[in-house]
Amino acid sequence: MTMTPNLSSIYFELKVVSDGVYAAIAKRGTGAVGNAGIIDLGEETVRS
């Protein structure tokens, strides 16, 4: 797998934690109410 640069939108910032592991961190004041974890397993994606 390849590391992806950090991405963001007006609602969240997607941070690379490790190869294939990401954290979507909600930005305050945007209406987003929680954070999420995303794991890329290649053929499948796990999110929490």
Q: Where are the domains of the chain?
A: 7-47
CA distance 9 to 4: 15
Q: Tens digits of per-residue pLDDT, 1-47?
A: 555 566 888 999 999 999 889 999 999 999 988 999 999 898 888 87
pTM of the full structure: 0.74
**Residue 34 structure tokens:** 């929680």
The strand pair at 45-47 and 7-8 is best described as unpaired
CA distance 20 to 42: 8
Let me know the angle formed at the C-alpha of 42 by 5 and 11, rounded to the nearest 5 degrees.
40
CA distance 1 to 19: 7
**Residue 37 structure tokens:** 């974890």
